Structure 1
Amino acid sequence: MDLDRARAFLAGNHRGILATIKRDGRPQLSNILYFLDDDGRIKISVTQTRAKTHNLRRDPRATLHVQGASPWQYVVTEGTAEFIEGPGVLEALRRYYRRVSGEHPDWADYDRAMVADQRLLLSISVDYAYGQLP
């Protein structure tokens, strides 16, 4: 599938299933909210303690499945994950929130919650795509 076509589909959606690789080689699946950023990368809010975070730190290969309006309309992307953390992570998480949910009523409260949750932003390249679109 053409990557531009896949990205156009991804840009119109925010829900997907992220697949990472467990230590034993089996897939670990997570329902997630994402957005396709202007840099063409998929952005997902994650916490330090989740299995997907541990899996991607060990093996950065990631697959995202996004279903369309019908069960036969979907795109699957494969790429490499990187983490946005440290200085700048709160601004990156705010951008994520705005793109997925709109404006937050209290950004100071949001920032405190992100720190308490040990949140970071996952950034996944879109290197390969396949699926079925009309």
Structure 2
Amino acid sequence: MTDSALYAILARRNFGTLATIKRDGRPQLSTVNYLYDADAGAILISITAPRAKTKNLQRDPRATFHVSTESGDGYVVVEGTAVLTPTAASRNDATVDALVDHYRRARGEHPDWDEFRDAMVADQRVLLTIPIERVYGIQM
């Protein structure tokens, strides 16, 4: 399968599985919503600071991301080194601004941006970026 076909699968889907490395070396898997940013060559995911996946990535930034085709007869795997923003701390900080941009690109306009900003701080949100270092997969 060509890289362009793999990237097309990433662009069509919005759910995938994030694999991080637990302290004991085994994988920790999380199903997440994501945005494929073709211009940046990266996967973007809104996560929360207290979760295991965030703590795992802070300790070991190696990340693997898996997306199945809609029919389940193919998949794409992305590998990269995670980049995490600081935890959202105030409604107008750089992390919240990045999360607003992420939401707009993934879902469009929010009905109440003030409420959204407050929720990002209350949820202790972080924006995870996985620059695509390697991509592989199969389509049957």
TM-score (norm 1): 0.92
Give runs of aligned pairs for residues 43-62 of structure 1, distance below 5 A. 43-62=44-63
Q: Is 1:118 paired with 2:124?
A: yes
Give runs of aligned pairs for residues 15-94 of structure 1, distance below 5 A. 15-37=15-37, 38-85=39-86, 87-94=93-100
- Code of the residue aligned with 1:106 in structure 2: it is D
What stretches of structure 1 move > 6 A for 4+ residues in a row?
Answer: none
- Code of the residue aligned with 1:8 in structure 2: it is A
Q: How far did residue 99 of structure 1 move?
A: 2.3
Q: How far did residue 84 of structure 1 move?
A: 2.0
Q: Is 1:12 paired with 2:27?
A: no
Structure 1 unmatched runs, 5+: none
**Contact between 2:40 and 2:131, CA under 8 Å: does it hold in 1?**
no
Which residue of 2 is the match for residue 105 of structure 1?
111
* 1:6-61 Cα distance to aligned partner (Å, 9 max, x none): 32321221110000000000000001000012311110001110000000000000
SS in 1 for 2:17: strand
- Code of the residue aligned with 2:57 in structure 1: it is L
Structure 2 unmatched runs, 5+: none
Aligned length: 134
Distance 1:128 1:98 in 2: 27
- Code of the residue aligned with 2:98 in structure 1: it is A
Distance 1:30 1:93 in 2: 19
SS in 1 for 2:82: strand
Q: CA RMSD in A?
A: 1.5
Q: How far did residue 3 of structure 1 move?
A: 4.1
